[in-house]
Chains A and B, each alone.
Chain A
Amino acid sequence: MSGRTERGASRHPCQTKLDRKANCYQECPLVTPAPLIEMRGITKSFGAVKANEAVDLSVAPGEILGLLGENGAGKTTLMNVLFGAYAPDAGEILVEGRPVAIHSSADALAAGIGMVHQHFHLAPRLTVLENLLIGIPGKSGRIDRAGGLARLKEIGRQHGLNLDPNLPVSALSVGEQQRLEIVKALFRGARLLILDEPTAVLAPSEVDGLFAALRSMAAQGLGIIFISHKLNEVRALTHRCVVLRLGKVAGRVDRPASTTSAEMAKLMCGHEIVPPTKEASTPGASVLTLDGISTSGHGGTPLRDVSLFVRSGEILGIAGVSGNGQRALADVISGMLRPRAGAMTIAGKAVAQFSPRELQGLGLGRIPEDRMTTGLVTNLPLADSMVLPRIGTEAFSRKGLLNPAAIRAFAEAQIKAYDIRCPGPTVRAGALSGGNLQKALLARELAFDPKVLIVSQPTRGLDIGAARFIHEKFLAMRAKACGIIVIGEDLEELLMLSDRIAVMYEGRIAGTLSSTDATVARLGLMMTGAEGHA
C-alpha cells in the first residue's frame, strides 16, 4: 500500500465518506488511504495443494491494482475467495476497514464487490435488460423494467458503456458481452470491480475501449483489480501490482509503468526468461496450398474463397478476432470439414477425401484448439491418447491387435524427451495441466516428422515457461523445413513466430503481411476489416 494521494483530490479516499467539497486533507491529514478492500493472510488449500498462502492485498478507491501470476499461481482462487465462491481456510477480508464474512456471491455483491469472470455469466437467449435485472427485487411483484432502463442509461452515460437493452445477449459481440458484465456489476452497486483476464477475448481495438472505461471508473472512485498475465497490459493500465507465484505473494510493484516487463516476468516465474531467437531461414517449395476454399456453415463462420500457401521452413500466422472463420479453416486443413468448393494440396498432392486419416498420411500434423475435447481423450491413459491418431498403424498394432508394449514405450520416450510432468504413461490424460497436455500433443505430432503442422491457439492458457518451450519447438521444426500454420489471437506471439501473417475477417483472408511489415497496430486495423491488403 503505497501512498496514492499524489494522484490528486479526485481520487482521495476520503471522498467516499465526506462531502467532496470538504477539505479532506485537513480531516485526515495523514495519508494512509482507507483501503476499499483489504485481504489479510488469506490461505486456501485444495487437498494437499496450497492454492493461496498468507496472501495480503489491498485496493484503495480510485486504484487499479494489477494481479499478475502464471497459471496455477492462485490468482483466480484468491479472487474466488473475495467473491465468495470459496471459503478461505484462514485470513480475513475487510471492506472499508470493517471485517466482513463473504460466504456467497450475494454477500460479495452486498459488500460492493463485483466480478467479471473469464467465462461470462450471461444467458445468451435472454435480453440485455433481463440479464441485468436477474436477482434484483421487483416492484410490486413485477420486474422493474422502467427502473432498470433508467439505471442502465445512467451507467452508460457515466462510463461510456452503452448497450441496447432489448437485444438478446447472443446478438452481442464478445466485447459488448464483456461491457454488459461490467455494467451488471456497476448496476448492483459494485465499488470494487474484479476483472479476470478480461483482455483474453478482445481484439486490440476493443482493449483500448475497455481500458478507457476502466480508467474512467477509477477516476470516479471505484477500485479495480485487473487480473492478467500479459505484462504490457498490466504496465499500461495499473497503478500498482501484486505478483503471485505458487500461491504466495512473490513481489509487489509500485510503479508498473516504469518497471520493465523482464523484471516482472522474473517475479512471476522466479527466473529469467530468455526469448527464443528466430534464425533466418529460406523457405522452400509450398507444402500446403489452399485454392478458393469455401465452406458452408457448421455452426461457425464459413470460409469464403480462401486461398493461401505455406512453404517448407516457414511459419504462417493466421490472425483475426475469434469467430472470423478460423475454426472452419483449422477444420478444413485438419480434415474435419469438407469444403463446398476449392482445392487443397499437401506436399504437391491433391487432397481428395478431406478425412483426418488421409491428410495425416500425406504428412499433416495437427494440434487442435481445444486440448481437452478434440485433442486428447481425457478419460483414457495418456499413452493411449498419445498414439490415438496412429493407432491402426504398424507402429502400434499387429494384425488388428494393439501392441501395448510399443504404445507404452512410445509414450515413455516422449514423456522423457518433452519433459512432460506426469506420474507415468498410464495416468489419465485429463489429470495433466494445460502446459503438459500441450507438450504431449506436440510430442505426438512431431514424433512423425510432419511436413505441415497446423496449430490453433498453441499457448492459450499456458504460462510463460511452457509457452516458451512450445515456441522453441515450433522454431526447431521450422529449421527442419516443416511448414507451420499458427492460428492465434495473441498478436505479439504471432509477430514473434511468423514469417508471414494472414489476417482473417468474416471468413476471408483480409490480407497478408510479411513479418517485417506487420505491426500490432496494422494487424489490429485489418482484423476489424478496416484495411485490406492483397
Chain B
Amino acid sequence: MSAVFEQIFQVGFLAAIIRIATPLAFATLGEMFSERAGVLNLGIEGIMLLSAMAGFTAASLSGSLWLGVLVAVLTGMLMGALHALFTVALGLSQHVCGIGVTLFSSGLAYFLYRLIFGQQSVPPSIDGFKPVPIPLLSDIPVLGPAVFSQFTLVYLAIIAVPLAAFVLYRTPWGLSVRMVGENPRAADSAGVSVIATRFQAVILGGALMGLAGAFLTMAQFNAFTFGVVSGRGWVAIALVVFGRWDPWRSAGAALLFAFVDALQLRMQASGLGHIPYEAFLMLPFIFTIVAMAVMSRNAVAPSALLKPFRREER
C-alpha cells in the first residue's frame, strides 16, 4: 500500500487539485452570485458547455486564446441574460427555465460545433494555454511548482475568490445583491431596483461560468468534446450549498471536491486494477452526496431564492 500512497501524494498531486478546482471555483462563484440575488441558475451545465465550445471555436479560428476566453465570457453573459429574462423579467419558474437553458445551450453547442468543424474522427485540438511560472514564488518548494507554476486562468481564479468576497460584503452593489436575495421588497422600498440587481448578478454569474467553460477547452483539455463539462455544472450547484453561499467557503468546497477527484484519478492509475475504474469515478460524487448530507443541514438558503419579484403583487 505504501507504494500506492507514494504515487498519490506527490507535488503533481497538489498541482492537479488546483487545476481541477479552477473551473469548479469559477462555476461555483458564478452560481453563488446568482443565488445570492435569489435566482437559481440550473442553466449552468449548458452555459459552461456552450461557453467552452464558443471559446474553443473562437480561439481555434482566430488563433488567439484570449479572444477565445473573451468570447466564452460573453457567451456566458448572454446565456445568463437569457435566464434572467425568463426568471427575473418574466418571473417564470427558475427550475424549468434553468433546465431549459441547459438543454438549449447544450443542443446549440453540439449543433454549432458540427456545423463549424464537421464530423472528424479525431477531434480538432488547439495549442492551449501554457503554465506561466511566477518569478520567485514558483521557487518555493512544493507550493511553488504546484500553485505558482500554473495557467494564468488559475491565478485569475485565485484572485476571483477574495474579489468576490469583497464585492459581496464590502460594496453597495454586493449589499444590494444580498438584500434582493433575502427580501426583495425591502430592497425595492429602499429604492434599489430588484430587477436590475438580479439581472446584473445573473449575468455576472454567467460570465464566471463562461470562464469555467473556457478553462476546460483552452487550458485543461485543449479540445472540445461533448462530454467536456460532464456534470461539473451540477456539482457547482451542490458546492454552493456546501459552501453556504459564501465565496470563501464555496472556494473551499471546490478545493475539497477537487482533492477527492484528483485522488480517484491517482487511484485509477495506481494499480488497484482489480477494481473497475468506474468505481473510482463515482468517488467524488459519493463524496458530494455525503458532504451535502452532513454539512448542509444547517445551511440556510437566501430567503428569496426561487421567488420571482413582482411589484404590484401585494
Most chain B Cβ neighbours within 10 Å, of A105, A124, A184: A105
Interface residues of B, dominant DSSP: helix
Say how far A107's CB is from chain B's closest CB, in angstroms: 8
A117 located at the interface, meaning its Cβ lies under 8 Å from any Cβ of chain B in the complex: yes
Nearest residue (CB) in B for A139 is: B172
> Binary interface profile of A, 114-150, with partner B (CB < 8 Å = 1, else 0)?
0101001111111000110111111001110000000
A134 touches B190 (CB 8 A): yes
> Please, which residues of chain B bring their CB within 8 A of the CB of A141?
171
A106 located at the interface, meaning its Cβ lies under 8 Å from any Cβ of chain B in the complex: yes
> Please, which residues of chain A bring their CB within 8 A of the CB of B185?
121
A125 touches B182 (CB 8 A): yes
B191 touches A143 (CB 8 A): no
B178 touches A126 (CB 8 A): yes
Say how far A275's CB is from chain B's closest CB, in angstroms: 33
- Count of chain A residues with Cβ under 8 Å from any Cβ of B? 31
B179-208 interface (Cβ within 8 A of A): 179, 182-183, 185-192
B94 located at the interface, meaning its Cβ lies under 8 Å from any Cβ of chain A in the complex: no
Interface residues on B, range: 20 to 34
> Please, which residues of chain B bring their CB within 8 A of the CB of A134?
175-176, 179, 186-187, 190, 192
> Please, which residues of chain B bring their CB within 8 A of the CB of A131?
179, 186
> Please, which residues of chain A bring their CB within 8 A of the CB of B176?
134-135
A104 located at the interface, meaning its Cβ lies under 8 Å from any Cβ of chain B in the complex: yes
B191 touches A135 (CB 8 A): yes
Compute how far the CA of A143 lies from the CA of B187 in the bound complex, rounded to whole angstroms. Answer: 15
> Binary interface profile of B, 153-180, with partner A (CB < 8 Å = 1, else 0)?
0000000000000000011101110110
A135 touches B187 (CB 8 A): yes
> Binary interface profile of A, 77-115, with partner B (CB < 8 Å = 1, else 0)?
000100101100000000000000000111001100001
A184 touches B182 (CB 8 A): no
> Binary interface profile of A, 33-65, with partner B (CB < 8 Å = 1, else 0)?
000000000000000000000000000000000
B171 touches A123 (CB 8 A): no
A184 touches B190 (CB 8 A): yes
B294 located at the interface, meaning its Cβ lies under 8 Å from any Cβ of chain A in the complex: no
B303 located at the interface, meaning its Cβ lies under 8 Å from any Cβ of chain A in the complex: yes
B311 located at the interface, meaning its Cβ lies under 8 Å from any Cβ of chain A in the complex: yes
> Please, which residues of chain A bring their CB within 8 A of the CB of B189?
83, 105, 115, 117, 121
Nearest residue (CB) in B for A130 is: B175
B224-244 interface (Cβ within 8 A of A): none
B300 located at the interface, meaning its Cβ lies under 8 Å from any Cβ of chain A in the complex: yes
Assuming the contacts A123-B186, A125-B300, asked whether A137 and B178 have C-beta atoms less than 8 A apart, the reply is: no
Say how far A127's CB is from chain B's closest CB, in angstroms: 10
> Please, which residues of chain A bring their CB within 8 A of the CB of B171?
138, 141-143
Report which of A110, A124, A135, A136 forms a contact with B182, defined as CB distance below 8 A.
A124
Compute how far the CA of A124 lies from the CA of B171 in the bound complex, rounded to whole angstroms. Answer: 19
Most chain A Cβ neighbours within 10 Å, of B171, B174, B178, B191: B191
Q: A120-B186, A121-B188 are in contact. List 5 more A-B contacts (CB 8 A).
A: A105-B188, A123-B178, A124-B182, A138-B172, A143-B172
List 23 A–B pairs whose Cβ atoms lie within 8 Å, in order of A's numbering. A85-B311, A86-B312, A105-B190, A106-B191, A122-B183, A123-B178, A123-B183, A123-B303, A124-B303, A126-B178, A131-B179, A133-B175, A134-B176, A134-B179, A134-B190, A135-B172, A135-B187, A135-B192, A138-B171, A142-B172, A143-B170, A143-B171, A184-B190
Contact surface of B with A, Cβ cutoff 8 Å: 170-172, 174-176, 178-179, 182-183, 185-192, 300, 303, 311-312, 314
The 5 closest A-B pairs by CB, nearest first: A106-B191, A123-B182, A121-B186, A135-B190, A138-B172
